[in-house]
C-alpha cells in the first residue's frame, strides 16, 4: 500500500445530524478510497484545535479532549478499519450545537459535518400550551357569539 499516501483522499461527511437535548447523536465521515484508519491519528474537533475526541496510537486519548465531552463520546473502532469515522455523543446539550470536523493529521485531510440540537423541554411545553390556548380562544369566541350558552 505504498501508493495510498499519495492517492488523493476525499473525506465525505454525512448529512447534518439533528438531536434532542439529553439524547444522543451519531456523526460520521467516510474516506474515499476507504483506507484503514485504525493505526492513524483521528481527531474530532470543533474549530481546528478544540478536541471533542482524539484517537491515536490505536486507542482513545480522553486526556486531550475538552472537559465538556468527557465520558460522553464514543468512537467506533470497528468502522475505522473501513475508512469510516463514526462518533456518538451522548447526553447532548444545547452547547453541543454547531459544526464538527474530522481531521487526520498524518494525511492533512479534514471534513466537517453539523449537529443541530433542539431544546426538548421547551418544545414539549409549547407543544401543549399553544393548542390549549387555541382551544380556549375558540371557546371564548363561541361564548361571545352566543353559540355556546354560559353555564
Ligand atoms: C446530562 O447533561 C446534563 C448537563 O447538560 C447533566 O446535568 C446531567 O446530569 C447529564 N445526565 C447524565 C445521565 O449524564
Ligand atoms: C445551531 O447552530 C447553527 C449554525 O451554527 C445556528 O444557526 C443555530 O442558531 C444554532 N442553534 C442554537 C439553538 O444555538
Q: CA-to-CA distance for 7 and 33, rounded, in angstroms?
A: 9
Ligand 1 centroid – CA 91 distance (Å): 6
CATH classification of the domain holding 44: 2.60.40.10
Where in the sequence is the domain holding 21, given as residue range(s)? 10-118
Is residue 2 in some structural domain?
A: no
Average pLDDT, the chain: 88
Closest ligand to C-alpha of residue 99 is: 2
Q: Which residues contact 82 (CB under 8 A, 6 or more apart)?
A: 34, 36
25 and 86 within one domain: yes
CA of 122 to the centre of ligand 1 (A): 17
Report which protein residue has its CA nearest ligand 2's atom 11. Answer: 97
The pLDDT > 90 percentage for the chain reads: 66
Residue 95 pLDDT greater than 50, yes or no: yes
CA atoms of 113 and 12, how far apart (whole Å):
9
Ligand 2 residue neighbourhood (C-beta within 6 Å): 94, 97-98, 116
Query: 87 in a domain, yes or no?
Result: yes
**pTM of the predicted model, to two decimals?**
0.77
What does the DSSP 8-state code read for residue 143? H
Residue 151: per-residue pLDDT: 58
Residue with cell 467506533: 76
Q: Give the CA-trace dihedral at 100, 106, 109, 112, to 10 degrees.
A: 0
Asked whether residue 61 falls in the same domain as residue 82, the answer is: yes
Number of domains in the chain: 2
Lowest mean pLDDT of 3-7, 21-25, 72-76, name the range. Answer: 3-7
Domain presence at residue 4: no
Same domain, 114 and 124: no
- What distance lies between CA 33 and its chain's CA centroid? 24
Per-residue pLDDT tens over the stretch 107-122: 999 999 999 999 976 5
For 86: left if phi > 0, alpha if psi spans -120 to 50, otherwise beta; the answer is: beta
Give the ligand 1 atom nearest the CA of 22. 1
125 with 114, same domain: the answer is no
Distance from residue 149's CA to the centre of ligand 1 (Å): 50
Interval between CA 87 and ligand 2 midpoint (Å):
20
pLDDT digits (tens, 9 = 90+) for 57-90: 999 999 999 999 999 999 999 999 999 999 999 9
Do both 56 and 91 map to the same domain? Answer: yes
Amino acid at each position: 500500500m505504498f501508493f495510498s499516501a499519495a492517492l488523493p483522499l476525499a473525506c465525505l461527511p454525512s448529512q447534518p445530524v439533528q438531536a434532542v437535548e439529553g439524547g444522543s447523536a451519531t456523526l460520521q465521515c467516510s474516506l474515499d478510497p476507504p483506507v484503514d484508519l485504525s493505526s492513524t491519528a483521528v481527531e474530532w474537533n470543533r474549530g481546528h484545535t478544540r478536541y471533542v475526541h482524539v484517537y491515536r496510537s490505536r486507542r482513545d486519548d480522553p486526556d486531550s479532549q475538552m472537559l465538556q465531552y468527557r465520558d460522553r463520546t464514543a468512537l467506533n473502532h470497528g468502522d475505522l478499519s473501513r475508512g469510516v469515522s463514526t462518533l456518538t455523543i451522548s447526553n447532548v446539550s444545547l452547547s453541543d450545537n454547531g459544526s464538527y470536523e474530522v481531521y487526520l493529521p498524518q494525511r492533512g485531510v479534514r471534513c466537517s459535518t453539523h449537529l443541530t440540537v433542539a431544546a426538548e423541554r421547551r418544545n414539549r411545553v409549547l407543544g401543549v400550551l399553544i393548542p390549549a390556548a387555541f382551544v380556549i380562544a375558540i371557546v371564548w369566541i363561541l361564548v361571545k357569539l352566543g353559540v355556546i350558552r354560559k353555564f
